Amino acid sequence: MQPTYLVLFIILSIFIFIFALAYIFSTLVEVHTFLKTKVPYVPTSRRELKSILAQCAICPKDNFVDLGSGDGRAVFLAAKIGALASGFELDLWNHFLAKTKKVLMRSHTNFFRKDFLKENLGKFTVIYAYLMPETVAVLEKKFIAECNPETMAILRQFPFPNLLPTQIFQPRKTKIYVYKK
């Protein structure tokens, strides 16, 4: 093998090795988080999120939070509108991705690697959550106990078990449930 090809081969191998390591690491971390939260990481598409934020009229005076914010995409979109925007995420890899994007995009967002079930949600005016039914049921109790009457909760796919939604719409294949207390 010619020296140039050998160098190219080594560089390519290093890239593939780093990529494979990152992939394995992120998968292991996601499995670990899933065992704790019982909620898998399934992102909402940016296109759908844009429709959701527009339909719910999110505006600069809102204090938006994504509960289980994944890679932070909903938080960045809310911040782009001008809202104060935060995300809680337990998964280490997704939290790292969100924090990295925050720096690269110079975005004024807040990301916390915390269990949102242990946080008081009273200061937020808009809550977005894409979770599983069991966690949604616990969130419903927190929404009733901690949030102001003007606070809007936007749930993707799995509705609160008791409260009646004020609005249901379907921007793509999945239903979105909107609640005010």
Ligand X SMILES: C[S@@+](CC[C@H](N)C(=O)[O-])C[C@H]1O[C@@H](n2cnc3c(N)ncnc32)[C@H](O)[C@@H]1O
List contacts with ligand X (CB under 6 A): 33, 37, 39, 41-44, 66, 68-70, 73-74, 88-91, 94, 115-117, 130-131, 135
Instruction: Name residue 45's amino acid.
Output: S
CB of 42 to ligand X, least distance (A): 4
Instruction: Name residue 117's amino acid.
Output: L
For ligand X, give the closer residue by CB, 17 or 126: 126
CB of 178 to ligand X, least distance (A): 15
Helix (H, G, I), strand (E, B) or coil at 49: helix
For ligand X, give the closer residue by CB, 84 or 116: 116
For ligand X, give the closer residue by CB, 113 or 180: 113
H or E, element range at 18: helix 3-37
CB of 41 to ligand X, least distance (A): 4
CB of 46 to ligand X, least distance (A): 9
CB of 24 to ligand X, least distance (A): 18
Residue closest to ligand X, measured at CB: 68
* Of residues 124, 139, 156, the one with CA closest to residue 48: 156
CA gap 115, 142 in Å, rounded: 13
**Strands 84-88 and 109-112, sheet pairing:** parallel
* Of residues 37, 38, 109, 35, the one with CA closest to residue 71: 109
Q: Which two tokens stand for residue 150?
A: 């003007």
For ligand X, give the closer residue by CB, 77 or 84: 77
Task: Give φ, ψ of 106 to 5 degrees.
Answer: 50, 50
For ligand X, give the closer residue by CB, 26 or 59: 26
Residues in the chain: 181
